[in-house]
Structure 1
């Protein structure tokens, strides 16, 4: 969930040039909180958090009114109530979220078949083929917002640009309940002043590496000597970041052609653990299992998701859509670890942890992608697959897993592993 509270919202003028901007990113505004308020219109303007009031509960999501008090996702509920004593805490209702998500996604598909769903509350649309029938991208964006409001009572924000990367940034800048067009000719000017974490794929670790060499804005990355970037983040990531920083993103909107599934593993510990190193080892082992099954099925995951359950049975789930789909364990682990780190759970005993690959694609060819940052790891893991097929699943493992007191890495000694291959529910 974004920490943006709407006070720096940008929207486009009616005459914004959308002649070369066929990509829309549509994102529902504080979706869970907004759905929960539909049956309580008298509370519509109150600060709201979704979660539980119990002891060590945390905020699942918060509306814009609550964010202005500093309330954000993964924050302990007790802290949220300190920041905002008038905070209305509402229990989550996942059946309602799925119901309204289905309505919204159907609206998108009424506009164009080129819909790439990113999660329960957001999607990319390519409206190139809809312009003759429905009008310009801006007109289509306004019509989507009107239909969503009319059919659900909810608000959404639309970002419109020449590329997926810029459209997603635009929707974030236009929140809440806005529409922002970034004309193709203004793409680079729009990107340059943004902080480096606006670049797709720049998490905490990459940002730290870039800031160490005094690169703090997108302009800094765009203008940096190639050799400097390569030393900081490696050749593949350096190429990716400079392309994005210069407004280049060749990825297309990719609608699902079949029912999506997810592949996941989770472990329930016999005794809860709080040691960050132990948690990371479990994430690595789970990521390895997920990746191995993806490769065996000739599939790649576009989204990495994690689940963490604490001693009090509070459960948090987070996901991240990748710039390119992957079946590489190292990439899945790094994304999963970054998601867990963002929860700031240090010191809290963890009862269960899980890793899942979602939005699966069949037969993904990494050579067709904009970049392939995991080429070396992919080759190594393919070799590991061959060894495991010949000598057994426990024949080879990451060195980081060797301090587990287990006869085989696939089943942690202190927990129960569950496997998942299930329909991906939007």
Structure 2
């Protein structure tokens, strides 16, 4: 049997910082922005487990985190250091001789036709700890989605397996958003159908789900509830489907010309990276977040795939003007979706 192991590095960014600042081990550490908790509009990128005990979590404004955990040590984000640490870990995983599918800085799937997946999981944990000083958790199953959920039960620094034998025992009474891929909006819509647990979702008639969510999403969440998912682990390099940049302003914008300028700059910066990679753009998306945190994204397909700066910038500005810009704007973002290689 081929097993799927989900390897997830524990508190990765914080752990990389603790590796070079061992004197901070055991203290609440918060990574984000320039490391200055008084800096406006910056958020937590990662919090150590000690900081999480105070209610600090990723995405929280740094100022809020400082109020919740005034004794915390704040450190700036250091992307190059995290890139280097991630590459080291992924290299160690590949050296084990199994297909490795990387999903980001801190997680990957390993596909392995082994008799004892627990033995492999413990070997992975031991090798990563010995060679890098970093800790990881491993989820074991026969598909990616179930393995990902299993990892959550193994954290921190543990191993857990979810299979057909224990899936419903462990997951049946849990809320539907415990499933990887079921978010708040889907959970709310399911609740309107009086479906609140994984077991209830698994028993739901497929026709009801497809009529509510459409054939693709409806059947997919039903499959997830029953413990199914994608079992293919590919070692092929991940090819990005889009590139994006966002900016959170020190002071909310109210002037349309300033918004136009910001969107133009975001589009140019994003396109420069795409051209450098030899890719072409197919669709342009613009995200607006107002002072009240109301967030919406609009997207438009280009007349023809390409990299013409004027066309892409004009499309982004046109999308911006499609919004009702009657409230102060806190954040703007531009995402350029890419044509996939044949």
Q: Tell me whether the two structures share a fold, i.e. TM-score over 0.5.
A: yes
What CA distance in whole angstroms lies between the structure 1 residues aligned with 2:280 and 2:320?
A: 28
What CA distance in whole angstroms lies between the structure 2 residues aligned with 1:125 and 1:47?
A: 32
**What residue in structure 1 maps to residue 39 of structure 2?**
55
- C-alpha change, 1:346 and 1:220, in structure 2 (3 Å) is farther
What CA distance in whole angstroms lies between the structure 2 residues aligned with 1:179 and 1:77?
A: 32
**What residue in structure 1 maps to residue 126 of structure 2?**
146
**What residue in structure 1 maps to residue 6 of structure 2?**
25
Q: Does 1:81 align with 2:66?
A: yes
**What residue in structure 2 maps to residue 118 of structure 1?**
103
Deviation for aligned residue 1:187: 2.6
**What residue in structure 1 maps to residue 161 of structure 2?**
181
Contact 1:266 1:354 in 2 (8 A): no
Deviation for aligned residue 1:226: 2.5
Contact 2:30 2:73 in 1 (8 A): yes
Q: Does 1:137 align with 2:121?
A: no
Task: Give 2:210's match in structure 1, choosing from 220, 230, 236.
Answer: 230
Q: Which runs of 5+ in 1 are unaligned?
A: 1-19, 301-326, 356-376, 406-414, 422-426
Deviation for aligned residue 1:55: 2.6
Instruction: Give 1:13-412 correspondences, 5 Å limit.
Output: 22-51=3-32, 52-53=35-36, 54-56=38-40, 57-128=42-113, 131=114, 136-256=116-236, 258=237, 260=239, 263-266=242-245, 273=253, 346-347=291-292, 388=304, 401=319, 403-404=321-322
Deviation for aligned residue 1:349: 12
Deviation for aligned residue 1:124: 0.4
- C-alpha change, 1:43 and 1:34, in structure 2 (3 Å) is same
Give me the CA root mean square deviation: 4.3
TM-score where L is the length of structure 2:
0.74
Give the number of equivalent residue pairs: 305
Contact 1:25 1:168 in 2 (8 A): yes
Contact 1:59 1:72 in 2 (8 A): yes
What CA distance in whole angstroms lies between the structure 2 residues aligned with 1:34 and 1:268?
A: 27
- C-alpha change, 1:21 and 1:273, in structure 2 (3 Å) is farther
SS where residue 111 of structure 1 aligns?
A: coil
SS where residue 20 of structure 2 aligns?
A: coil
- C-alpha change, 1:418 and 1:233, in structure 2 (3 Å) is closer
SS where residue 182 of structure 2 aligns?
A: coil
Contact 2:4 2:231 in 1 (8 A): no
Contact 1:273 1:349 in 2 (8 A): no
- C-alpha change, 1:234 and 1:182, in structure 2 (3 Å) is same
What CA distance in whole angstroms lies between the structure 1 residues aligned with 2:28 and 2:129?
A: 21
- The one-character-per-residue Cα deviations of 1:110-137 (angstroms, maximum 9, x if unpaired) are 1134111000110000011xx3xxx621
- The one-character-per-residue Cα deviations of 1:346-366 (angstroms, maximum 9, x if unpaired) are 44799xx999xxxxxxxxxxx
Deviation for aligned residue 1:174: 0.9
SS where residue 103 of structure 2 aligns?
A: strand
SS where residue 119 of structure 1 aligns?
A: coil
- C-alpha change, 1:126 and 1:299, in structure 2 (3 Å) is farther
TM-score where L is the length of structure 1:
0.60
What CA distance in whole angstroms lies between the structure 2 residues aligned with 1:298 and 1:39?
A: 37
What CA distance in whole angstroms lies between the structure 2 residues aligned with 1:143 and 1:248?
A: 26
